[in-house]
């Protein structure tokens, strides 16, 4: 079948605003046609899906036509600016979208001593990961109302019942349960720093990565505990980028179970293999992921479905936060 890779693009506010599609191999068989015609249109209608002219010219005309019928737009390469620089990128006047790994660079103004905000975030991460008492976690939020605000706003955006809104951290714990709360709290760390120009794109990237790993674990028939571990592995894998510190140093105080630690730090075990697959997808490396998929008995269509589903979930997570990233 072939792979459809999704590369996140930022707009002029450096917020996630579109995906650039990259098609590896051909999309000419029945499975490919069904994926494009039945799954892509709804996503493309809610989030711009683009193909640059150079890539479009290399595709079979029938494959390109199918993508365009699904709502995918072909645009000029000059409208996409690529940046891998380690500082806040400057958007060229003629460009509409920004690609590249600029948001994976370390945060600016790093020093040997963590800032107060980073210290609180690390304390929160430690408490949540080790299932600390609720009152200990609530104390962190009393120290940092910005973190509390973002958490409640995000949880409220999930729609936990018609007309029902969460108004306190304790209520969020009761309604969501500890496991779901742990997930959202950790994701919130990527969005809490309003002064970090990377926040929007980094939040989108880690959300897609974590959800992709969870869905892959489910596809392999692993139980809910392993699926949750896969999600946390995907999320923890970018904490070094978030804090601008060596990943091992960030994870050291968290006392992670061995399977997650081995997967994140050494790419060992089932979780490590899933992380390799997701990283290969992010990089558009069909050569790297093909043998991994064959070993795991995962088909091309399965991977494309999971990639799309993860981006749909990401869009749901960030939609209500878009105004926070703008400006």
Among residues 75, 104, 133, the one where a domain terminates is 104
Candidates 10, 8, 55, 59; CA nearest to 32 is: 59
Question: Could you give the CA distance from residue 190 to residue 3 in angstroms, rounded to a whole number?
Answer: 28
Position 111 in a domain: no
Position 110 in a domain: no
Among residues 104, 124, 144, the one where a domain terminates is 104
257 shares its domain with 134? yes
Position 109 in a domain: no
257 shares its domain with 162? yes
44 shares its domain with 155? no
pLDDT (0 to 100) of residue 203: 87
Is 56 strand, coil or helix? helix
Question: Could you give the CA distance from residue 271 to residue 217 in angstroms, rounded to a whole number?
Answer: 8
Question: Could you give the CA distance from residue 250 to residue 242 in angstroms, rounded to a whole number?
Answer: 10
CA dist 186 → 119, 153, 193 (Å): 14, 15, 13
36 shares its domain with 77? yes
For residue 135, what are the contacts with CB-CB under 8 A and spacing of at least 6? none
Angle in degrees, 0-180, between the axes of helices 178-188 and 116-129, rounded to the nearest 10: 160
pLDDT (0 to 100) of residue 10: 96
Position 121 in a domain: yes
Angle in degrees, 0-180, between the axes of helices 134-143 and 145-157, rounded to the nearest 10: 110
124 shares its domain with 267? yes
Taking residue 298's Cβ as centre, other Cβ atoms within 10 Å add up to: 18
287 shares its domain with 317? yes
pLDDT (0 to 100) of residue 120: 73
pLDDT of the chain, 327 residues: tens digit per residue: 688 999 999 999 999 999 999 988 766 667 667 888 888 999 999 999 999 999 999 888 888 888 999 999 999 999 999 999 888 899 998 999 999 999 998 776 544 444 555 667 777 777 877 778 878 877 777 676 666 666 666 566 655 554 555 556 666 666 667 777 777 777 777 766 657 889 889 989 999 999 999 999 999 999 988 998 899 899 889 988 888 889 998 888 777 788 999 999 999 999 999 999 999 999 999 999 999 999 999 998 899 999 999 999 999 877 755 544 443
Give the single-character DSSP code of 92: P
pLDDT (0 to 100) of residue 323: 43
Among residues 104, 124, 153, the one where a domain terminates is 104
160 shares its domain with 298? yes
Question: Could you give the CA distance from residue 68 to residue 128 in angstroms, rounded to a whole number?
Answer: 45
88 shares its domain with 120? no
Candidates 208, 154, 211; CA nearest to 185 is: 154
pLDDT (0 to 100) of residue 114: 47
Give the single-character DSSP code of 77: G
138 shares its domain with 59? no
Candidates 210, 180, 200; CA nearest to 321 is: 200
pLDDT (0 to 100) of residue 253: 73
How many domains is the chain built from?
A: 2
Q: In what order do the strands lie in the sheet with 97-99?
A: 73-75, 49-52, 16-24, 3-10, 97-99, 80-82
pLDDT (0 to 100) of residue 36: 85
E strand map for 40-147: 49-52, 73-75, 80-82, 97-99
52 shares its domain with 14? yes
pLDDT (0 to 100) of residue 124: 78
For 302, the domain range is 116-325
Question: Could you give the CA distance from residue 267 to residue 290 in angstroms, rounded to a whole number?
Answer: 17
What's the CATH number where 145 sits? 1.10.3210.10
69 shares its domain with 146? no
134 shares its domain with 98? no
């Amino acid at each position: 079948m072939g792979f459809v890779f999704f590369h996140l693009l930022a707009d002029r506010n450096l917020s996630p605003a579109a995906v650039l599609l990259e098609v590896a191999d051909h999309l000419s068989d029945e499975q490919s046609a069904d994926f494009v015609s039945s799954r892509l249109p709804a996503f493309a209608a809610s989030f711009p899906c683009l193909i640059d002219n150079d890539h479009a010219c290399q595709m079979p005309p029938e494959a390109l036509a199918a993508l365009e019928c699904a709502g995918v737009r072909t645009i000029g390469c000059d409208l996409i600016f690529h940046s891998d620089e380690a500082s806040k990128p400057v958007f060229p006047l003629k460009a509409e979208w920004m690609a590249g790994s600029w948001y994976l660079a370390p945060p600016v103004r790093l020093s040997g001593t963590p800032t107060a905000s980073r210290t609180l975030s690390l304390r929160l991460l430690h408490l949540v990961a080790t299932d600390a008492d609720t009152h200990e976690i609530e104390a962190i939020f009393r120290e940092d109302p910005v973190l509390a605000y973002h958490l409640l706003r995000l949880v409220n955006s999930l729609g936990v019942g018609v007309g029902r809104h969460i108004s306190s951290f304790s209520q969020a714990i009761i309604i969501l349960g500890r496991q779901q709360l742990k997930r959202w709290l950790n994701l919130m760390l990527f969005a809490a720093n309003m002064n970090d120009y990377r926040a929007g794109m980094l939040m989108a990237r880690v959300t897609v990565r974590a959800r992709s790993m969870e869905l892959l674990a489910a596809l392999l028939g692993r139980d809910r505990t392993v699926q949750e571990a896969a999600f946390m592995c995907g999320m923890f894998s970018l904490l070094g980028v978030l804090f601008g510190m060596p990943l091992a140093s960030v994870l050291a105080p968290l006392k992670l179970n061995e399977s997650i630690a081995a997967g994140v730090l050494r790419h060992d075990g089932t979780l490590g293999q899933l992380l390799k697959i997701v990283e290969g997808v992010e990089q558009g490396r069909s050569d790297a992921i093909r043998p991994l998929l064959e070993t795991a008995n995962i088909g091309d269509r399965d991977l494309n479905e999971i990639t799309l589903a993860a981006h749909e979930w990401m869009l749901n997570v960030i939609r209500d936060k878009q105004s926070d990233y703008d400006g």
